A and B are shown apart, each in its own frame.
Chain A
Amino acid sequence: MTIPSTRAQAAGAERPSFAGVAEAHLDDVHAYLVYLTRDRVLAEDLTADTFEKALRLWHRFDPRRASARTWLCQIARTTALDWFRAEERRRRREQATAREDLTDSVFGEGLSPGLESALRALTHAEREVIALRVLLDLDGDEAARVLGISPTNVSTRLSRALKKLEEKVGTHVLA
């Protein structure tokens, strides 16, 4: 069964099954959470939480309003934010020390060290927009819907993020 990946396709297609949607967009959700959290282990847990929540809310999914991928990314973002809030409260209570060191290749195998380093140096907002627009290939409107900002803001952030990446990668190569 073809899973509609865009809203236009979804508008004309029948409602897909949850199992099919989960299989089709698991990697997308996972990659987005990796970029958002910079933690693969955390991203995996949050991915599973995301799909649990999505299953509970599946009856509210309307393919005419957004594609399944956009809808899942919105839930993933909310799930991540909930985790960060809980983590912040926990830290305040326990006064935890710094988080464990990140693994060397968080953002994917095969990335150059310079690019890996440049990605880590980006802000969360810049990493998010790169994950959604470059990695997941969402269009401007869909990415704006996930992030809760305007499409213009999405374009501005993406442009700034890519410029930063190019500058840092260029610097690393020269060094």
Chain B
Amino acid sequence: MSSPDPITQLRAAKPAASPELRERVRALAARTPEPRRRFFPTRLSLRRVVLVAAPAALALALGAAGVIGLTRSGEDERVVSPPLAAAEKGAPTTSLQSGEAATPDQAATLPPTTGRLQRYDAELRLRVEDLDALSAATQRAMRIARSLGGYVASAQYDAPETGPGSAMLVLRVPTIRVQSAIVQLSGLGTILGQRIGIEDLQGQADTLADQITALQGEIASLRRQLETPDLTDDARAQLELQLAQARRELAEMRAALEQTRTEGTLATVSVSLTTEQTARLQERGRLDRALDRALDALAWEASAALIALAIGGPLLILAVGVWKLAAVRRRRAEERLLDRSE
């Protein structure tokens, strides 16, 4: 007859406590009163901690941000408009930020190259206080141009009854004096923007001069041919036609060279003046300011939390690792103890 399987045997033969032991334990439970439960649970489950602590921490952070936002929302805030962008023209340019006081060093940073023809043009945007200052600055700009040997190419002036006033001047000043002009003009108001463009014209002038020289030679040759006594009528007519053509071309080239020299000799400085205040005082609602401050505070709290996590995170991981290692060592020690007791 086969024995029942081990599991069945084990369960059937489960050792029972002796009657003496049973009485002993009953007496223990009956004699000693049960201790009272503590008011607070001695163990907090991780789940309970997370469910309570996380929302509480979040509420605290939001509350603190709100308090900060409300308490600091009374501060005034002035918003300054961004400076006007300097225009690009393909040539080296420079620009200044708005609101900066003009100084001679800041006003002119690209001097023309001496000994070469260059097209030099500059733009200045200036702000003046009011219409009186606008008028004075406009007149002063014209005098500056004339004092430097230049002239006013065009001028526009607008001083309405309401709203900002403006003036637009195009000045031509000798290129060799353009730096002085820019410095003096910059002092008429607050620089809002500046642009300088330089284009070399010397090559173009040299080419024109060479072409002029060649044409002059050609004209001289044609004239000598016309002085030949035995020219036929047709040949003479043809030569005269060519001579006239060459003379026309020579005149055009001389005019172009003159134009080029003029462009290289006189710089163009465009000056625009305005009384418009680009720094506007924006009165924002208190709620908007409070919200901004609160968001700033939240951002700061988030940064602080991230920093704390970055610093504390590795330490926490290390602590958990040490705790787990200690638990493993304790369990192994217990197993060795039980093995030794075999």
Write the residues of chain A forming the contact surface with B, with a CB cutoff of 8 angstroms. 17-19, 22-23, 26-27, 30-31, 34, 36-37, 40, 43-44, 47-48, 51-52, 55-56, 58-60, 62, 65, 81, 84-85, 87-88, 107-112, 114-115, 118, 123-125, 130, 134-135, 148-149, 162, 165-166, 169, 173
Q: Are B26 and A22 in contact (CB under 8 A)?
A: yes
A-B contact list, 21 entries, CB within 8 Å: A19-B30, A22-B28, A26-B21, A26-B22, A27-B17, A31-B14, A31-B16, A36-B338, A47-B25, A55-B35, A59-B36, A107-B10, A108-B15, A109-B13, A110-B9, A115-B9, A124-B339, A124-B341, A135-B10, A166-B5, A169-B3
Report the minimal beta-carbon distance from B37 to chain A, rounded to whole angstroms: 5
Q: Are A65 and B34 in contact (CB under 8 A)?
A: no
Instruction: Give Cα A22–Cα B22 distance, bound, in whole angstroms.
Output: 9
A27-B26 contact, Cβ under 8 Å, with A81-B337, A87-B341, A123-B339: no
Among the listed B15, B35, B37, which residue makes an inter-chain contact with A107, where contact means beta carbons less than 8 Å apart?
B15
Instruction: Give Cα A58–Cα B342 distance, bound, in whole angstroms.
Output: 32
Q: How many residues of B contact A (CB 8 A)?
A: 43
A165-B38 contact, Cβ under 8 Å, with A44-B17, A52-B28, A62-B43: no
Q: What 1/0 flags go to B1-14 for Cβ under 8 Å of A?
A: 00101110111111
Which 9 A-B residue pairs are closest in the complex by CB-CB distance?
A: A108-B13, A124-B338, A19-B29, A30-B17, A110-B13, A108-B15, A111-B13, A165-B6, A22-B29
Among the listed A31, A88, A114, which residue makes an inter-chain contact with B341, where contact means beta carbons less than 8 Å apart?
A88
Query: For residue A166, which residues in chain B have a CB less than 8 angstroms away from its CB?
Result: 5-6
For the A-B complex, the count of residue pairs with Cβ-Cβ distances under 8 Å equals 129
Instruction: Give Cα A18–Cα B327 distance, bound, in whole angstroms.
Output: 30
Report the minimal beta-carbon distance from A89 to chain B, rounded to whole angstroms: 11
Q: Are B341 and A84 in contact (CB under 8 A)?
A: yes
Judge if B42 is at the interface, Cβ distance under 8 Å.
yes
Q: Are B11 and A134 in contact (CB under 8 A)?
A: yes
A26-B14 contact, Cβ under 8 Å, with A58-B35, A88-B340, A112-B9: no
Report the minimal beta-carbon distance from B82 to chain A, rounded to whole angstroms: 62
Q: Are A60 and B21 in contact (CB under 8 A)?
A: no
Query: For residue A18, which residues in chain B have a CB less than 8 angstroms away from its CB?
Result: 29, 34
Q: Are B337 and A88 in contact (CB under 8 A)?
A: yes
Query: For residue A130, which residues in chain B have a CB less than 8 angstroms away from its CB?
Result: 10
Report the minimal beta-carbon distance from A52 to chain B, rounded to whole angstroms: 6
